[in-house]
Copies of this chain bind each other. A is one copy, B any other.
Amino acid sequence: MQISSRFSIGVHILSLLAIRPQDHHTSEWLAGSVGTNPVVIRRVLGHLKKAGLANVKAGSGGATLARELDEITLLDVYRAVDVVEEGRLFHMHEQPNPACPVGANIEQVLRLMMVKAQAAMEGVLAAVTMRELVDVLAREIEGKRAGNG
């Protein structure tokens, strides 16, 4: 199983808001770059708004960043779009037999490892800010424009 693309869509949206601050970012416009339906964008944007990462103007429309890029980590986005429940990246089978010594104790032992593994993954996301990502992205774009891509 995979972590929902809501995460990558969220990062894509924030990157667009950062790189093209002058444009009018309607859900239709954003959907054009992401390659999906405007409603999918509105749903992700709703998550970003709720998490305080983006502002969305009702009526006239258009989204903007609600925070500096330095103050948004990939973990913030990941948590905002609600792709993995806290400490529950791994699904543990639910009815181990309490009458069996192994069944009665496997969960708490294995859970330790699972939480640690998940934390390591999320630690990597926490260490990358949208500023860094957008900088790499901008360099990538510039590189291709110069004919090196």
Contacts and interface: CB of A to CB of B under 8 A. Distances in A.
Interface of A: 1-5, 7-9, 11-12, 15-16, 19-20, 32-36, 74, 83-85, 88-97, 100-106, 108-110, 112-114, 116-118, 120-125, 128, 133, 136-137, 140-141, 144
Contacts of A1: 1-4, 83-84
A108 B33 contact: no
A50 B96 CA distance: 24
A76 B8 CA distance: 28
Contacts of A9: 93
A119 B122 CA distance: 11
B100 A33 contact: yes
